[in-house]
């Protein structure tokens, strides 16, 4: 079996009770892409792998609110670790900014992931008889958590495997992302699922200034509290949170005062505001049907985004 066939088989076949296999494949691709080719093999510590696992799953849980399983009682251990230390609400900070002042917490979480999440996936990733990519140095099962010294927790990625993963990185990543998305789409209502898995980082946000003139022609009031907007206090808000929809289309944008924009942040506005949004979009032919906003609103809520209380925005509805 060629390395290409083996990679495809690993990510597309076999039982998958969680997504660790995908995360390990992404680590190997990211690692290979960052390395220079050399003649000797590459020794990689479990700590290094666990560090990237935290980053990947932190985005899935704290940014994208991906549901990993139909049964909440069987969430992957890595998600439980993140929820325990970071909570269950959306986090607006970037990964780097969030942990900038939480270095000890980050180390603690990486250590927990290393001890509790890697001991099974690393031996199982490739067939026992085919260690084409790497050799691992602990056994699966009862001895999986037993190490004599910390230096034993590593894999050795052979140079030919790294060369293959580096040279075929783009196509292999596309295969991986597609299979990862196929697994997650069973339990998620998230738009742009593939691009979110592919990036696993905060995508660049473009300026919304170009939409201000058009939106202010529709209304001179804050969409949420109906306060007249003043120069210097005009914000453009994503009605369906941008972190969920990744959409800058006009149908999803409203003018808002700074107070409401700050309060709403990455939450959903009250139901009455959603109804008001539908009326506005229909009046200006911004969406093809009423269900567009309703479906995004409902699916965003199912994805775990909070709906604000009516009083917080003092929304007057339609």
Q: What is the rounded (10 degree) CA torsion for 184, 187, 189, 193?
A: 0
- 221 and 186 together in one domain: no
Position 145 scores a pLDDT of 45
Position 220 scores a pLDDT of 94
- 234 and 162 together in one domain: no
- How many other C-beta atoms can be found within 10 angstroms of the C-beta atom of residue 132? 16
Q: Alpha-carbon distance 190 to 299, whole Å?
A: 7
Position 290 scores a pLDDT of 63
- 286 and 138 together in one domain: no
- 218 and 150 together in one domain: no
- 174 and 99 together in one domain: yes
Position 8 scores a pLDDT of 94
- 9 and 109 together in one domain: yes
E strand or H helix that includes residue 85: helix 77-86
Position 146 scores a pLDDT of 44
Position 263 scores a pLDDT of 92
Question: Is residue 59 within 8 Å of residue 52, measured between CB atoms?
Answer: no
- 193 and 231 together in one domain: no
Position 246 scores a pLDDT of 83
Please give the residue range of the domain that contains residue 301.
Answer: 209-313
pTM (two decimals): 0.80
- How many other C-beta atoms can be found within 10 angstroms of the C-beta atom of residue 102? 14
Last residue of some domain: 147, 179, 199?
Answer: 199
Last residue of some domain: 167, 199, 231?
Answer: 199
Nearby residues of 277 by Cβ (< 8 Å), 6 or more positions away:
223, 239, 254, 269, 293
Last residue of some domain: 142, 164, 199?
Answer: 199
- 88 and 230 together in one domain: no
| Structural domain count of the chain | 2
- 277 and 180 together in one domain: no
- 170 and 234 together in one domain: no
- 81 and 63 together in one domain: yes
71 assigned to some structural domain: yes
Question: Is residue 265 within 8 Å of residue 307, measured between CB atoms?
Answer: no
97 assigned to some structural domain: yes
50 assigned to some structural domain: yes
Per-residue pLDDT of the chain (318 residues; tens, 9 = 90+): 799 999 999 999 876 678 999 999 999 999 999 999 999 999 999 999 999 999 999 999 998 888 887 666 678 999 999 999 999 888 888 999 999 999 999 999 999 999 999 999 999 899 877 778 999 876 544 444 444 444 568 999 999 999 999 999 999 999 999 999 999 988 887 888 888 898 887 777 788 988 999 999 999 999 999 999 998 889 999 999 988 888 788 999 999 999 999 999 889 999 989 989 999 999 999 876 667 888 899 988 888 788 998 777 775 544
- 41 and 114 together in one domain: yes
101 assigned to some structural domain: yes
């Amino acid at each position: 079996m060629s390395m290409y066939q083996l990679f495809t088989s690993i990510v597309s076949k076999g039982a998958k009770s969680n997504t660790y296999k995908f995360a390990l494949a992404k680590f190997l691709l990211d690692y290979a892409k960052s390395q220079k080719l050399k003649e000797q093999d590459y020794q990689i510590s479990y700590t290094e792998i666990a560090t990237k696992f935290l980053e990947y799953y932190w985005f899935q849980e704290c940014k994208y609110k991906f549901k990993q399983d139909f049964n909440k009682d069987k969430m992957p251990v890595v998600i439980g670790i993140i929820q325990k230390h970071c909570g269950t609400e959306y986090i607006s900070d970037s990964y780097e900014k969030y942990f900038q002042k939480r270095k000890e917490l980050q180390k603690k979480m990486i250590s927990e992931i290393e001890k509790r999440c890697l001991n099974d996936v690393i031996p199982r990733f490739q067939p026992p008889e085919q260690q084409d990519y790497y050799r691992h140095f602990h056994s699966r099962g009862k001895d999986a958590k037993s190490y004599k010294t910390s230096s034993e927790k590593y894999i050795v990625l052979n140079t030919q495997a790294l060369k293959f993963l580096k040279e075929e990185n783009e196509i292999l990543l596309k295969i991986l992302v597609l299979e990862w998305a196929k697994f997650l789409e069973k339990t998620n209502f998230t738009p742009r699922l593939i691009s979110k898995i592919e990036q696993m980082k905060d995508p660049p946000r473009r300026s919304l200034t170009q939409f201000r003139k058009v939106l202010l022609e529709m209304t001179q009031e804050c969409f949420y509290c109906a306060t007249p907007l003043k120069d210097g206090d005009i914000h453009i808000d994503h009605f369906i949170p941008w972190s969920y929809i990744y959409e800058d289309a006009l149908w999803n944008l409203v003018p808002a005062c700074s107070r409401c924009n700050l309060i709403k942040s990455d939450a959903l506005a009250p139901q009455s505001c959603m109804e008001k949004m539908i009326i506005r979009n229909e009046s200006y032919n911004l969406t093809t049907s009423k269900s567009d906003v309703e479906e995004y609103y409902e699916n965003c809520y199912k994805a775990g985004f909070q709906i604000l209380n009516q009083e917080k925005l003092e929304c007057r509805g339609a």
